[in-house]
Amino acid sequence: MFIPSMLLKQLYTHGSLQKTEDGLCFMLKNRLKDAHLEEILQISLDGKHIANEKITLKVGPDTLLSAEEVNASGNVPFPLREVITVFLDVKAKSGPEKLKLGIEFKAAPFGKLKFTVEDNISPIAEKPAGIPRDPHDDYRPEIIEQRQQYFASATGAPVDHIGKYSIDPGTLRGNIEHFIGVAQVPIGVAGPLKINGEHAQGEFVVPLATTEGTLVASYNRGMKLLNMSGGVKATVVDDAMQRAPVFIFSDARGARDFVKWVNENIDQIRDEAEATSSVAKLTYIDHFLSNKFAFLRFNYLTGDAAGQNMVGRATFAACGWILDNYEGIENFYLESNFATDKKASQINIMRTRGKRVTAEATIKREHLLSVMRVDPKQIDYHGRVAGVGSFLSGVNNTGLHSPNGITAMFIATGQDVANVSESSAGIMYSELTEDGDLYVSLTIPSLIVATYGGGTGIGTQKECLELMDCYGKNKVYKFAEIVGAVALAGEISLASAISSSDWVSSHEQYGRNR
């Protein structure tokens, strides 16, 4: 399996080369995929070969294996994100001068891997005075307790509620570092909400995690109203996750010619990207030229995962192949800030980031009058007035508060809450029908959700997804339709409250905690 040299070098933990009592050590971290170490072929320092009998590996928190034992076994587990510490029984002086460290080994499923890195030797590390951690198993009870004690002693406050949890810390590798406990957020349920989607069909009870009084009640009221008029039609209309590298050239012509070459070699670039994942599919690459810079926006399908890390790894591999095969690139950055990760942006509204979902419904006039005490004309007129306010403020959402329900669902179901930045965008539209009813439609152009991976498999988060039958593979479109429908329920509820002047009184009744 071909792995670009740039990606291979990421196996080495830069800055980890340091003196020990008996020689030197450095660390390797698997940043590729689950693997097995089969054979140590060669390790060299500044061109000098180090014999295998002078090499020892620490695999896991307690297991030490000589290079000979590794080679005899031929099957030492090296899972994704696992750290192996390599000890070298050699003498060398610490100092600022960088040395060349050559590493060559065999690992399944990759085959032979060989790379060279440069690093300087640090002096013998003293036991750090900061946060306690264990690079080999940072989730065992002893190290967690040490961190809790450290936190308590540093702040003078006890770790009481934080340290009480039902989840297994050992399952949190890849979700949290320096774990000491959990933050408990109250969860309420709203619904059921009838959804007529392509993937979400039926009635759904929805968990909402929040500390904002009136939120659950408001969404529940909107769901009741929508149900009376037949529910919500929800549709996922687009799907894309991006990573946006930038390539720098000596002049604008170099950038222009490079983009032409990229388009001509898209098939090979796609192969390199998709080789890093069984899920990621590179659909197309946008290009944007400015000055002497070529910005590429790689667009992927990521299955049931949100996919930011997945597409980062895939794009890194593709760019490694590009750098190895195209001359004239003066500099390169994997992310140019053009993917706008964790930020609202106009390009996401126009081009989609995550799932683009539309929820729509036609609400009967009599139902608005009986449940919300408001006429459709009042809501429609208020929407047009609020559109002027949206334009003047430059906001990314012409609705009222769709991020409210989205955030509450994100917290409850283990989504990356910072993705509310992109998911906050919303395009709200309404019109009066010939019968005097109200048609409402909300498009969320950059809804970033997952039903598999990330935080979705943790304790309460998994349970909340399971409440909606949305945990696991082949469920992400269903979940996206539910989120869109819930957001629409919140929009019509708040729009009715504002239009009928019921907004303040509702907060006074449900939202006061003093």
Question: Using CA atoms in the order 52, 53, 55, 59, what is the torsion angle rounded to 10 degrees?
Answer: 100
Which run of H or of E encompasses 383? helix 376-393
Contacts of 400 (CB under 8 A, 6+ apart): 386, 428, 490, 491, 494, 495, 498
The C-alpha atoms of residue 51 and residue 55 are separated, in whole angstroms, by 7
In contact, 90 and 53? CB cutoff 8 Å: no
Given the residues 82, 212, 335, 375, select the one marked as catalytic.
Answer: 212
Angle between helices 476-499 and 376-393 (to 10 degrees): 100
Q: How far is CA 512 from the centre of its chain?
A: 34
Positive/negative CA dihedral, 91, 96, 102, 103: positive
Q: CB atoms < 10 A from the CB of 68, how many? A: 13
The DSSP bridge partners found for residue 333 are 246
In contact, 329 and 13? CB cutoff 8 Å: no
3-state SS string for 36-105: EEEEEEEEEECCEEECHHHEEEEECCCEEEEHHHHHHHCCEEECCCCEEEEEECCCCCCCCCEEEEEEEE
Given the residues 136, 178, 287, 507, select the one marked as catalytic.
Answer: 507
Q: Is 296 exposed, middle or buried (0-12, 13-18, 19+ CB in 10 A)?
A: buried
Contacts of 280 (CB under 8 A, 6+ apart): 273, 274, 300, 301, 302, 303, 307, 310, 311, 314
* 304 part of the active site: no
Given the residues 138, 416, 422, 481, select the one marked as catalytic.
Answer: 416
In contact, 318 and 269? CB cutoff 8 Å: yes
* 178 part of the active site: no
Q: CB atoms < 10 A from the CB of 487, how many? A: 29
In contact, 202 and 191? CB cutoff 8 Å: no
Tokens of 113: 């891997």
Residue 107 in 3-state DSSP?
Answer: strand
* 239 part of the active site: no
Give me the active site residues, please: 212, 416, 507
